[in-house]
Amino acid sequence: MIANVDVDKLVDLLIKYKTQVSYLVAFILCAACFIGGRMTSQCPPKSVVCKAEEATITGLRSELTTKDATRVEMLRTQKDKDRKSCDVRVETAKLEMGATNKFLQCSDVCALIGQCRKAGRCK
């Protein structure tokens, strides 16, 4: 069942397509090297390779957590101070407005009552 293969024709085809054949052989060799390397090599686990980086990340994460807690506490303290300061200013403004809106004294009322009656505001 083996067909007669003309060796001269195969050699002629190889010479004609030598560039493509060389690329194919190089690809097959690269693939074989890659597969062989994958099968024979043992990579250490990530925890061993990246031990220093993981320690750095853990340290930075804890440092950020403490700084965030400190920042939140500082913001709350400042907000409380601002709120107290604002309350003092509001109360001061209320007192100042109350001082300017005091009732007129009797002499002022007596002087203005004629004008108010003429304007129709008093009966």
Task: Give pLDDT tens digits for 48-75.
Answer: 888 999 999 999 999 999 999 999 999 9
Q: How far is CA 78 from CA 65, 82, 90, in A?
A: 20, 6, 18
Instruction: Say if CB 116 and CB 122 are below 8 A apart.
Output: yes
Q: Does any domain span residue 79?
A: yes
- Give the pLDDT of residue 120: 67
Q: Does any domain span residue 55?
A: yes
Task: Give pLDDT tens digits for 5-59.
Answer: 788 888 888 889 999 999 999 999 999 999 998 888 787 888 888 899 999 999 9
- Give the pLDDT of residue 123: 59
- Give the pLDDT of residue 106: 60
Same domain, 1 and 24: yes
Q: Does any domain span residue 119?
A: no
Same domain, 3 and 52: no
3-state secondary structure of 45: coil
Look up the domain containing 36 and give its range: 1-42
Average pLDDT over residues 78-83: 93
Same domain, 62 and 20: no
Same domain, 54 and 101: yes
Question: What's the number of domains the chain is made of?
Answer: 2
Same domain, 103 and 49: yes
Same domain, 70 and 50: yes
